[in-house]
Chain A
Amino acid sequence: MVNMLSAMDASASATGQAPPEPVFDVDEIQGNVLPGFMKPRMAVIALEFGDLASARRWLGELVPRVTTMSQTMASRLKVRQERLARGVSAGSTEAAQTLDDAWLNVSLSYTSIANLRGGGDASKFEDEAFRTGLADRSSLLGDPTDPSAEGNPANWLFGGPGKAADALVVLGADRQRTLQRLFDEVVEEALAAHLSVLYGEVGGKLDKLGHEHFGFQDGVSQPGVRGLLPGEPPSYLTPRTVDPSAVPETWLYGLPGQYLVWPGAFVFGYPTPGADPLLAAPAAIPGPAWAKNGSYAVYRRLRQDVAGFRAFAEEQAASLQDQGLAGMTGDLLQTHVVGRWPSGAPLSRTPDADDPDLGADPLCNNHFEFAADTPLLPLTGGHDDPYPRAKADPVGLTCPLAAHIRKVNTRDVGNDQGGRRASFQRRLLRRGLPYGPPFPKTGPDPAHGDRGLMFLSYQASIVDQFEFLNTTWMGDPVAPRSPSGHDLLVGQNGEPGAERQRTCVIVKPTVIGTVVAEQDVVIPTGGGYFFTPSISALRDVLAATPASD
C-alpha cells in the first residue's frame, strides 16, 4: 500500500476552519465515478476478451472516448447555469433541455487486468472480493446456493461460472437515440477486435423524478464527496449549503443531512475517512501504483418482482392489522420497508402521509437523523426548510430499523461496528438505473416480469462497502441495529436451513408487529466486480504491452 499524507495540517476543530480538502485529478478520474453521469438513460455492455493483443488495441482505441470527470463536470455546470437562467431551483430534478450528451466509461475485471498485465502487479489489489470475483462471492451476499434457483450464478445472464466478463462498458446519455447509436458503435468495435458480447442492456429513468420499479424515488441520498475542482479559486465538488454559523454541521454536510465523505472512500489516492469525520486519514492506494484515481465498480442486474412485492405487502399488512397495527395498508407497509414514501419524502419527517414537495426538495429530503431531534439549520442562499422536523427515533418507532434506508445507512447512531464511522466509511456512490418497462397498471405484462435495477456502485473497497452492506447489514437479522430483522426490500437470507425466509419487526409504541417475507422480490440475474482505472492507467498501462510479454 502506498501512503501519502494529504490535507493533514489543520484540525477544523482547533482552528475553527473547515478542513482543507484535496484537488481532484479531473482529467484522470472517469466521469461516472465522480461526479457521476446522472443521465436519464443508461446502458451496460459486458464483454469477454478474445486474444490479448486485440483486446489491448480495442482498449487503446476506446481511451479517447472515455468520458472524464472534467467533461462530466463541464456539462453539469452547464445544467446548473441553464437552470439559473430559467429560474429553476438548484438541485431540481428537471433535466436540462438542450443537452444531448452520450458518455462512456470502462471497467475491467481482476482476471482481465491480470491477463493484460501478463500476471505482473495485478495481485497487488488488496481487495479479496475483487480478486475472487462476484460468482464465488455470491453465496456470501445471500444469493441462493441452490443451482436450480434463478438467482444462483449458474443461471445468471452473465457473470456466472464460465461467463465472467472481462470488461464492463457503461454508457450514459440524455436521449435514447443517441444512447442507442453509441451502444451499437461500441458493440461493433468490440466484435471487430474479437471480443464477445456476453450481455448488453439499455435502461433509464422510468419518469422524470426517478422512481424505481417498486414505485419509490431512487437516488435521493448520496454521500457528499469532499474535494476540490481545480480553478482560480478552486471550488467544492459537492456544494455546501449550511450556513457557516452552524458548527459543526456546516463542515459535516453538503446538502443538509448529506454527510461529507473524504474522497479516498471512493477513489484511490485521496485522503480516506478517519474516526472523526473532519480529520482525514492518509491517502491510500491499496493496489498497484497505477491504480491511483481508480475505483471499484460493482454491477448487479437485480430483477424486481413487482407483483410479488405488492402481494407480499398486501398480505402482510392484513397480518399486521390482525396483530393490532390498525390502519396498516399495503402501501403504508411498503413505505415502512423502504423508509421513504414513494415521492422520496422521508418517513422520519412525515410519518403520516406522503409529501411530494418534501420528496422533491433536495435541501430537505435528506435532512433527518435518528439519535436526537434533528435541528433546523440555517441555509445559505436564503433557502429555508418549511417541513416538519424529524424527531429522535433511535428505536425505530417512526422509521423502522429494518427499513432499507436504515439497513444501509445508520446516519448518526451507533451500530454493530462501533460508533458512527460507518456512516462515512461504508458508503457507496450509487449509479444504477432501472431496466425494463414499468409494471403495467392493468393487463398483461409485456416484459413477463423481467424488469429491475441495473445496480451499479463505485467504492474504494468491495469487501468493506458493497459486500459489507449486503452481508453484514441487509442480510442480518440484528445488525446494524435492533429491534430490526432483515431488509425486506432488497436483503436476502442465505442462511442454510432458513429457506430464504426473511422477517422483520415494525415497532410502534403499543404493538410490535412481525412481518414475514417468504419469497425474494429482488433476484440477482447477472453481474461482476470490476476496477475503473484512470485515463492514464488505461492508456499507458493496461492498453500497453507489458514488458514481460
Chain B
Amino acid sequence: MLPQFDPPGFLSDFNAQMLQQWSTAVSGWIDGNIAIVQAELAPGDQPQFYNESRTETPGEPLDQVIGWSGFPGTFRDRWGRQMALDLADNLMPLTQRMDGPGSYFVGELWGNIFYRPQDEYCEWRVTRDDQGRITRVTFTSEPPEYWQALHGDTLPDMSGTPRYPFAGDKQLLLELYREYVDPQVQLADLECQQDLVDHSDPANPQVIYPKGSYNPYNRWNTTGGIMHLTHPANSLSAEINLGALASVQRTANGRTVIDPEALISGAAYGGLNRCSDPTIGSTVNELAALGAFVTLRNPVGLAMHHLSLEGFRTPGGEPVDSSFFTVLRGQPEQGLIEHAVFAVPAGEGYTVSDLTIGGIPITHGGQIAEHIVVNIVGRAAGLGHFANTPVACAASSYQDDWQGNWLTYAQAGEAPSPVSRPAFAYPPATPGTAAPPVAPAPNTVRSLDELAARATPKPPSLLAGTHRHLTRNA
C-alpha cells in the first residue's frame, strides 16, 4: 500500500508536516469521489475507483500513461486553428467562459479577474519585447491547490466545505514567486484584498476566496506572470473527479457506451471538446470495463510529458535542441514536467519569433503547445475482480451544425442551440427487432446564405473582449 501521496511531479517545497497534510487532502478527495461513485452505482455494487493509500489490491498493478495535446481542443474545435491560436495566448476575465456562453463566476469584481483560457492542464504565457517579438514562453502544469497549501490555507473537500488545513510557509511561497516570476513580488500581491464572492445564485452568494487567503488569480499569476494553472477547470480535485466518474460503466438506450465522446457526453465528467477529458475518461473506463480496480497513480497530478522539437529550426536552419526548453520544476526524465521555459539561449542574438516550425515562423505560444504532450498515469489492478451493473447515462450532447467538431451538453435535455443536432443518440436497442432498412436519401445542398441565416452569430463577443488584455513584457 502507498504510505503517502506525493505532491504533483514530486515537487519538493513542502516540509514533512505539509507533505503529510497534502497526502491527507489527496486521500480525502479520492475518498470523497469514491463516495460520489458509490451513490451512482446499483445497490450492492462497489466502486472500482480506489485509494492507493487505503486499499490493498491483488497482483501487480498495470500503469498506463494517458497523454494528450497541450493545445486546447476546445478552441480549435470551436473556432478553427488560426483563430484558436490568436485566442489561446490571451487572458480572459472570469465572467467569460471560453467554452460557450456564460461566466465562471458572477459579480462585478470577477470582470477584472483574469484566467488563461488554456484548458488542457497546460498553461503558458508569452513574453514579448518592445517590438512585439516573443522572448520566451513559460509553461506550467502545477495545480492551484499546491500554492494555496503553501500559503497555509484550508482546502475544501469534494462538497466545497473547508476541510484540509495546511501549516503553510508564506516566506517560501514569496521566495518561489520571486525566483520564478519576478523579484518585485510582495506577499500582499498574492493574497485576496477582499472576499471574492460569487453571485451565481443571487439569493445565496458564496465566498470563493476569503480576504487574506491566497489568490490564485493574483496578478503575478495572470496579468504579470505565470506560476500555476488558472483555468477554473484545471484543478486537481476536478481531475480526480473525472477519473472517479469514468470508472463507472454506462449505457445509453440499452447499449454499453464505448465511444469516448459518447461516454463523456453521457457521463458529463468534463469538457466535451478537450483533448484531455474524453481520453482520460475513456482510458480509465476501458480499464474498469476489464473488471479492474482503477485509480490515478501517485503522484496524483498533471504534468507535461515532453515537448517534441522535431521540425523546429533556428534562423540559420539548424535544429532547435533541448537547450531552448529549460525545465525548472518537476521530473522531466519521468515525464513529470511542472514548469518550463522555452527561450533562445542567451547570446544567440535572436528571439523565439525568429524560429520556425515546419518552415512557419513562431508567432504564437500555442504553436509550441501543439508539440507538448501532457499526461497523467492511470493504474489498474486485479483485472476481473468486479462485475458491476452498468448505469444509464443521464446527460447527452449536441453537435453544432456549423462547426461539426463542436459538441455542447444538452440543457435539461434540450438543444443548447437551434443549429445543433443530438449526437450519439442511437435508437433504443430492442432485442429481436430489426432497424428500418438502410435507404440512401437524397443529398440536400443548402446555400451558404441559408446556412448563415440559421447559424450561431460569429465571430463571438469574446473576441472583442480579449485583445485589450494582451499581456506584453510584464
- List residues of A whose CB falls within 8 A of some B CB: 2-14, 16-23, 128-129, 132-133, 136-137, 139-142, 145, 228, 233-236, 240, 243-245, 247-248, 250-251, 272-276, 279-283, 369, 371-372, 392, 394-395, 412-421, 467, 471-472, 475-479, 481-483, 494-497, 510
Contact = CB atoms under 8 A, between A and B. Distances in A.
A11 B73 contact: no
Interface centre among A273, A467, A477 (most CB of B within 10 A): A477
Contact of B373 (A140, A233, A479): A479
SS of A interface (majority): loop
B404 A280 contact: yes
Given A11-B422, A416-B373, A417-B69, A275 B261 contact: yes
Contacts of A4: 445-448, 451
B406 A275 contact: yes
Given A139-B310, A247-B435, A418-B278, 18 more contacts: A3-B402, A5-B445, A6-B444, A6-B445, A8-B401, A14-B421, A20-B444, A21-B443, A132-B358, A228-B440, A244-B437, A274-B423, A275-B423, A371-B286, A413-B283, A417-B68, A478-B67, A497-B321
B446 A6 contact: yes
Contacts of B439: 17-18
B62 interface: yes
Contacts, number: 259
B310 A471 contact: yes
Interface stretch (B16-24, B229-237, B424-432): B424-432
B411 to A, nearest CB: 18
Interface stretch (B135-143, B174-182, B301-309): B301-309
A395 B425 contact: no
B275 A276 contact: no
Contacts of B434: 243-245
Contacts of B158: none
Interface stretch (B4-12, B28-36, B252-260): B252-260
Given A228-B440, A279-B421, A478-B306, A132 B359 contact: yes
B310 A248 contact: no
Interface centre among A11, A21, A279, A476 (most CB of B within 10 A): A279
A457 B283 CA distance: 30
B295 interface: no
Interface size class of B (residues with CB under 8 A): 35 or more
Given A3-B451, A11-B421, A419-B278, A483 B406 contact: no
A182 to B, nearest CB: 35
Contacts of A136: 358-359
Nearest to B377: A482
A276 B424 contact: yes
B438 A418 contact: no
A413 B441 contact: no
B441 A416 contact: no
Nearest to A378: B434
26 contacts: A3-B448, A4-B445, A4-B447, A6-B446, A8-B446, A11-B422, A16-B435, A23-B443, A132-B360, A136-B359, A137-B311, A142-B310, A275-B407, A276-B423, A279-B399, A372-B289, A394-B290, A395-B62, A413-B282, A416-B68, A418-B68, A418-B261, A418-B274, A478-B67, A479-B373, A494-B311
Contacts of A2: 448
Contact of A18 (B264, B357, B438): B438
B84 to A, nearest CB: 13
Contacts of A17: 436, 438-439, 441
B286 A394 contact: yes
A499 B60 CA distance: 34
B154 interface: no
A371 B282 contact: yes
Contacts of B339: none
B343 interface: no
B399 A478 contact: no
Contacts of A415: 279
Contact of B405 (A14, A132, A275): A275
A418 B440 contact: no
Nearest to A132: B359
Contacts of B197: none
A11 B425 CA distance: 8
B66 interface: yes
B322 interface: yes
Given A4-B451, A418-B260, A478 B305 contact: yes
Contacts of B332: none
A394 B287 contact: yes
Given A282-B451, A392-B286, A416-B279, A274 B399 contact: yes
A8 B425 CA distance: 15
B297 interface: no
Interface string B274-296: 11111101110011011000000
A261 to B, nearest CB: 13
B403 interface: yes
B288 to A, nearest CB: 10
Given A18-B438, A137-B311, A418-B274, A482 B66 contact: yes
- Sorted nearest first, the 4 A-B pairs with minimum C-beta distance are A281-B404, A140-B311, A274-B404, A20-B441
A392 B451 contact: no
A412 B279 CA distance: 11
B442 A20 contact: yes
Contacts of B319: 139, 145, 496
Nearest to A13: B425
A272 B80 CA distance: 14
Contact of A413 (B260, B313, B442): B260
Nearest to A128: B360
B348 interface: no
B444 A7 contact: yes
Nearest to A471: B310
A235 B440 contact: yes
A275 B358 contact: no
Contacts of B309: 495-496
A23 B444 CA distance: 10
B258 A371 contact: yes
Given A132-B358, A471-B310, A420 B423 contact: no
B450 interface: yes
Contact of A20 (B258, B440, B451): B440
Interface in B294-334: 305-306, 308-311, 313, 319-322
A9 B421 CA distance: 9
Nearest to A391: B290
Contacts of B388: none
A387 to B, nearest CB: 21
A276 B399 contact: yes
Contacts of A248: 426
B443 A251 contact: no
Nearest to B322: A497
Nearest to B357: A140
Contacts of A139: 310-311, 313, 319, 358
B103 to A, nearest CB: 25
A390 to B, nearest CB: 13
B176 to A, nearest CB: 29
B213 interface: no
Given A13-B422, A478-B65, A496-B319, A251 B261 contact: no
A251 B441 CA distance: 13
A250 B66 CA distance: 31
Contacts of B66: 482
A144 B444 CA distance: 48
Contact of A419 (B261, B335, B380, B450): B261
Contacts of B287: 394-395
A22 to B, nearest CB: 4
Contacts of B62: 395
B48 interface: no
B273 interface: yes
B223 interface: no
Contacts of A478: 65, 67, 305-306, 335, 373, 375
Nearest to A467: B358
